[in-house]
Structure 1
Amino acid sequence: MRLTDFWQRLEQAFGPAYARSLAADHAFADLGGRTIDEAIARGVETATIWRAVVAAYSDRVPARLR
């Protein structure tokens, strides 16, 4: 998944403002306790990051974006 696609999905699921806040502030267990921003900076594949978001927020991510 391209980084631009990742951000588009995140913003569609959470809205632009909350998506950026989520990326900066929420530590995901599936990412080793890293935030989205930290995981991206460390080179974690965006598909892996997206799966962690979906796992943590399955009730908020529409099926069409999974």
Structure 2
Amino acid sequence: MRHSEFWQVVEETFGAGYGRSLAEDLVLPGVGGRTAAAALAAGVAPKDVWDAMCDEMELDDAVRWRYRRDPKERRGGR
């Protein structure tokens, strides 16, 4: 997963505004108690940050693996 894929799947899953807010404010135990934005800035792999976000938000596997599907297929919300 690239950084651009991370941000795209965050927006597709949560919406642009709420997704960015979560990335900036939600503390993720799975990446050392940092926010997604801080973890990415610290060099944590985007896939690990996405997994931590999915864990914290209790998202199902269909959402967790959304970034692996064709972008046209992903546009179905959560």
TM bucket by the smaller chain?
A: 0.7 to 0.9
Distance 2:30 2:50 in 1: 10
Given the two structures, how large is their TM-score scaled by the length of structure 1?
0.87
- Residue 57 of structure 1 is matched in structure 2 by 57
8 Å contact kept, 2:13–2:63: no
Given the two structures, how large is their TM-score scaled by the length of structure 2?
0.75
CA-CA distance at 1:21 after TM superposition: 0.3
In structure 2, the gaps of 5 or more residues are 66-78
Distance 1:11 1:58 in 2: 17
Could you tell me the percent identity over the aligned residues? 38
One-letter amino acid of the counterpart of residue 3, structure 1? H
In structure 1, the gaps of 5 or more residues are none
Moved over 3 A (4+): none
CA-CA distance at 1:57 after TM superposition: 1.6
One-letter amino acid of the counterpart of residue 49, structure 1? V
8 Å contact kept, 1:24–1:35: yes
One-letter amino acid of the counterpart of residue 49, structure 2? I
CA-CA distance at 1:31 after TM superposition: 1.0
